[in-house]
Structure 1
Amino acid sequence: MDPSHRIVPANAPKSASIQDTANSLGLHDALRYGPRSLAAENKTRGGLRERLESWDATQDNLKLTMQRNVFGLHMPMRTLMERKIVSRNPHMPALAQSNPHLDILMGRDETLDCSDFMMPASELAQPMDVHAEMEKKLHM
């Protein structure tokens, strides 16, 4: 947990390096790797994809930081412990199950996602050999 009040994810640090394309003298090998373009190297890193991938983690970090500032250090620790306890699922592994308790603790109980009402065909075809699934669970 990084104690920051950041609402949106930070941009990835932009840096250009020739370590992958350097020759024995430490210079960019243009004959082997082509001309070097710093604009192309910076454009490939960062952007919208990385922001969207780290959006949930940033929002969760903000909520935990605000809990820490308002209630003290015990509140985010308690929240994280409750999430860990609830995410452990000792039920039958052969049956596909959702975890509404974890959804409530994460604040996702009032949102709909595609996975909530559109199940892929792999989840619809549940294994019928419960004994084999239980044996796999014992050996893990």
Structure 2
Amino acid sequence: MSFRIAPSARPELTTKSTFDTSHSEFGSHDTLRYGTRSIKTEVTPGHPLEHRLSQWGETQWELKLNMARQTYGMHAPIRMMMERSLVGKHGRMPVLPSSNLHMDILMGKDETIDYEDFLNDPSLSTDMLDIHAAMEKKLNL
């Protein structure tokens, strides 16, 4: 049980594989969907601050669960994790726009204004909406 407020400064070294980005039929790296490969990003770890920022939300969630466990008992974090898993499941098609307001309320993001709140306009997105690829990805999960 850890009451860590900020993530650790040093990221854990992991080996990266192109198995997750391989094409299902050809077996090679799928450049059109996942971009070009870079040996530098596969070998060198990122900046420690980048690791801290990527792990910030998860560390805060673990802190909230540990504090609820100490304050209310074991049932409180179990209920919080159950609510998060239920709300996290999407019932819509993946390419339809949706806001997950319930998840924002559970995570405490309804009280803050982040850049996603005003720069997350789907009409300004440069991503192509490939319905077939999105449904394949949803079915493979």
Matched with 2:55 is: 54
Residues 83-140 of structure 1 deviation map (CA, whole Å, 9 limit, x = unaligned): 111111213544200100000001111111222122252389978xxxx77xx48x93
Q: Say whether the 8 Å CA contact 1:96–1:126 is kept in structure 2.
A: no
Identity between Structure 1 and Structure 2 (%): 42
**What TM-score does the superposition give when structure 2 sets the normalisation length?**
0.59
Closer, same or farther in 2 for the Cα pair 1:117/1:45, shift >3 Å? closer
Residues in 1 aligned to 2:128 and 2:90: alpha-carbon distance in whole angstroms: 21
Q: Secondary structure at the match of 1:4?
A: coil
1:7 aligns to 2:5 (yes or no): yes
Structure 2, unmatched stretches of 5+, are 14-44
Q: Secondary structure at the match of 2:110?
A: coil
Structure 1, unmatched stretches of 5+, are 16-43
Radius of gyration: which is bigger? 1
Q: Say whether the 8 Å CA contact 1:103–1:109 is kept in structure 2.
A: yes
Residues in 2 aligned to 1:78 and 1:106: alpha-carbon distance in whole angstroms: 13
**What TM-score does the superposition give when structure 1 sets the normalisation length?**
0.60
Q: Say whether the 8 Å CA contact 2:9–2:49 is kept in structure 1.
A: no
Aligned residues: 103
Q: Say whether the 8 Å CA contact 1:4–1:65 is kept in structure 2.
A: yes
Residues in 1 aligned to 2:48 and 2:95: alpha-carbon distance in whole angstroms: 40
Residues in 1 aligned to 2:93 and 2:47: alpha-carbon distance in whole angstroms: 41
1:74 aligns to 2:75 (yes or no): yes
Calculate the aligned-residue CA RMSD, in Å: 3.3
Query: Where does structure 1 differ by over 4 angstroms across 4 or more consecutive aligned residues?
Result: 123-127
Residues in 2 aligned to 1:117 and 1:110: alpha-carbon distance in whole angstroms: 14
